[in-house]
């Protein structure tokens, strides 16, 4: 091979040309990977032909075209529907469809029983971040380590990669845990804006304060992890639960004064108050995790 010879890139079959599938396809095509795409509604797949993709007439044709098959469909049920009756022997199926840990494990067993290697995944990005260097986009992967190692360069084209273990449920577990934390943050942001919006405070002036405060507080997750790992919720406490609960009364009273519903705030504050009532005032707030654990052994009545 001469220096000028084209480098052959792993061909990819992609099931799903929705917003995310289209972004993925464009990233692989731009990097020189041949892409065969199938979409339930053919027009969306055809739009990718202009970028150089080969459009498959059916999901089975797309799967037959290449060993590496990527699914990026709406939900787990749509993956089952699209691949119903499609032979997977010898395929490497990477499922970028958002699902639950149990769905990831079941889909792995389902694919393995059909002769495929399987990798589950969770995309930590929105479509405009895909294929953009330094956008911070990454994809969590779990399942077949051999599949991941073999295709890691191809998988790294649209976004960064984080392999989180052989348990095929782990990608979804990490994905959903991160998304759940994000929702808690957005709930707090919504409440904060609700407090200021009827006052002479410009949201645009308030937003930088909000961002820098949340950014400064985020590393508290490391402290929580340390306390969870040591089993000691009193380790390194700066603001103990008793003090925090006393302060929470001010948060609730301010919401009332401002005519703002505390419905986003109250569930978390109620948990803190319960943990305090259980006698854990000298702990950090991390101890509320105990109250969320529905599998925890309950004391006998």
Which residue, 79 or 241, is less far from ligand NDP as judged by CB? 79
Q: Figure out which of the listed residues 10, 78, 112, 240 binds ligand NDP, where binding follows CB under 6 A.
A: 78
Q: Is 126 in the site for ligand NDP (CB under 6 A)?
A: yes
Stretch that binds ligand NDP, among 123-131, 154-162, 214-222, 258-266 (CB under 6 A): 123-131
Which residue, 44 or 235, is less far from ligand NDP as judged by CB? 44
Q: Which among 248, 252, 250 has a CA at the least distance from the CA of 274?
A: 248
Which residue, 42 or 165, is less far from ligand NDP as judged by CB? 42
Q: Give the length of the chain.
A: 301
Q: How many residues bind ligand NDP (CB under 6 A)?
A: 22
Q: Is 21 in the site for ligand NDP (CB under 6 A)?
A: yes
Write the binding mask 83 to 112 for ligand NDP: x where contact by CB under 6 A, - elsewhere.
--------------xx--------------
- In this structure, the strands spanning 138-143 and 117-124 are antiparallel
| Residue 118 DSSP label | E
Going by C-beta distance under 8 Å and a sequence separation of 6 or more, which residues neighbour residue 293?
A: none
CA distance 280 to 290: 11
200: phi then psi, degrees, rounded to nearest 5: -85, 60
CA distance 279 to 72: 48
Quickly list H helices, 161-265.
Answer: 170-196, 203-217, 220-230, 241-257
Stretch that binds ligand NDP, among 36-44, 192-200, 241-249, 272-280 (CB under 6 A): 36-44
Q: Which residues bind ligand NDP (CB under 6 A)?
A: 16-21, 39-41, 44, 72-75, 78, 81-82, 97-98, 123, 126-127
């Amino acid at each position: 091979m001469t220096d000028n010879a084209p480098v052959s890139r792993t061909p990819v079959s992609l099931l799903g040309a929705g917003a995310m599938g289209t972004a993925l396809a464009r990233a692989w095509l731009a990097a020189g990977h041949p892409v065969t795409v199938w979409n339930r509604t053919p027009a969306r797949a055809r739009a990718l032909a202009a970028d150089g993709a080969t459009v498959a007439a059916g999901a089975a044709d797309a799967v037959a075209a290449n060993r590496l098959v990527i699914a990026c469909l709406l939900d787990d049920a749509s993956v089952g529907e699209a691949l119903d009756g499609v032979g997977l022997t010898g395929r490497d199926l990477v499922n970028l469809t958002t699902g639950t840990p149990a769905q990831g494990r079941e889909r792995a067993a389902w694919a393995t029983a059909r002769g495929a290697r399987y990798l589950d995944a969770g995309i930590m990005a929105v479509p405009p971040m895909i294929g953009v260097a330094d956008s911070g986009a990454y994809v969590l992967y779990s399942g077949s380590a051999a599949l991941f190692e073999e295709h890691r360069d191809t998988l790294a084209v649209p976004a960064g990669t984080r392999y989180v273990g052989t348990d095929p449920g782990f990608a979804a577990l990490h994905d959903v845990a991160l998304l759940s934390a994000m929702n808690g943050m957005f709930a707090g942001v919504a409440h904060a804006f609700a407090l200021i919006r009827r006052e002479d405070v410009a949201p645009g002036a308030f937003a930088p304060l909000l961002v820098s405060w949340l950014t400064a507080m985020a590393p508290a997750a490391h402290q929580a992890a340390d306390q969870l790992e040591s089993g000691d919720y009193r380790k390194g406490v700066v603001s103990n639960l008793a003090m925090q609960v006393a302060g929470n009364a001010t948060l609730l009273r301010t919401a009332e004064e401002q005519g703002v519903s505390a419905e986003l705030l109250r569930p978390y504050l109620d948990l803190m108050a319960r943990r305090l009532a259980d006698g854990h005032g000298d702990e950090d707030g991390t101890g509320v995790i105990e109250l969320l654990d529905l599998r925890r052994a309950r004391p006998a009545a």
